[in-house]
Amino acid sequence: MTTEQSAAPGYTPESEHEISLLDIVNFLQSTWKTLSAASIVGAALGLAGWFFLGTYSAQLTLLNSGAMELVSWRTIQKSLPSLASQIVEDQKAPEGAQDQFIKMEDPDWWPKNITPTYALTKADTKDMASISKDLDSASTTILNLNIEASGPSKQAALQNVQAAAAFIRTGGAYLQIKNLLNGMQVQTISEVAQLQKKMTDTQIELDYQQKRAQSLEELHKRFPSTASVTQQVVDPKDSGAKYLPLTTQIIAVNNDINASKEALERQQKSLAQLTLTQAFWEQAAPLADKTYDGLALTKQLLAIEQGMRAKSPKDDANATAFFDDLHFALAQIQARFTNELEVNTAPVAKKRGMLKATAGGLFAAFFLMLLVLLGQRVWQTVKSGAAK
Across the 388 residues of the chain, what is the mean pLDDT of every consecutive 10-residue run?
45 50 68 76 66 73 85 91 94 90 94 87 55 58 89 86 93 95 90 88 92 87 63 53 76 91 90 92 94 95 95 90 95 92 79 67 75 76 68
Q: Residue 111 has what pLDDT?
A: 92
| Domain contains 50 | no
Choose one of 301, 321, 339: the last residue of a domain.
Answer: 339
| Domain contains 278 | yes
DSSP 288-316: HTT---HHHHHHHHHHHHHHHHHHS-TT-
My answer on whether 218 and 312 are in the same domain is yes
Cβ contact 181:284 at 8 Å: yes
Q: Residue 5 has what pLDDT?
A: 44
Best CA proximity match to 113, nearest among 167, 176, 154, 155: 167
My answer on whether 300 and 187 are in the same domain is yes
My answer on whether 132 and 205 are in the same domain is no
My answer on whether 127 and 208 are in the same domain is no
Task: Please report which residue ranges of the chain form alpha helices under DSSP H.
Answer: 3-6, 21-53, 70-89, 98-104, 109-113, 122-128, 135-138, 154-222, 246-288, 294-311, 317-336, 354-387
My answer on whether 200 and 236 are in the same domain is yes
My answer on whether 250 and 140 are in the same domain is no
Q: Residue 32 has what pLDDT?
A: 75
Q: Residue 13 has what pLDDT?
A: 47
| Domain contains 61 | no
| Domain contains 167 | no
DSSP 128-152: HTTT-TTHHHHTTBEEEEEEEEEES
| Domain contains 8 | no
| Domain contains 222 | yes
* 70-77 contacts at long range (C-beta below 8 A, 24 or more positions apart): 70/116, 70/118, 70/140, 70/141, 70/142, 71/140, 73/116, 73/142, 73/145, 76/168, 76/171, 76/172, 76/175, 77/110, 77/111, 77/114
| Domain contains 217 | yes
Q: For residue 144, give its domain range.
A: 66-89+101-148
| Domain contains 164 | no
The domain tally of the chain equals 2
My answer on whether 199 and 330 are in the same domain is yes
Q: Residue 10 has what pLDDT?
A: 47
**pTM surpassing 0.75?**
no
My answer on whether 198 and 261 are in the same domain is yes
My answer on whether 209 and 277 are in the same domain is yes
My answer on whether 322 and 205 are in the same domain is yes
Cβ contact 331:299 at 8 Å: no
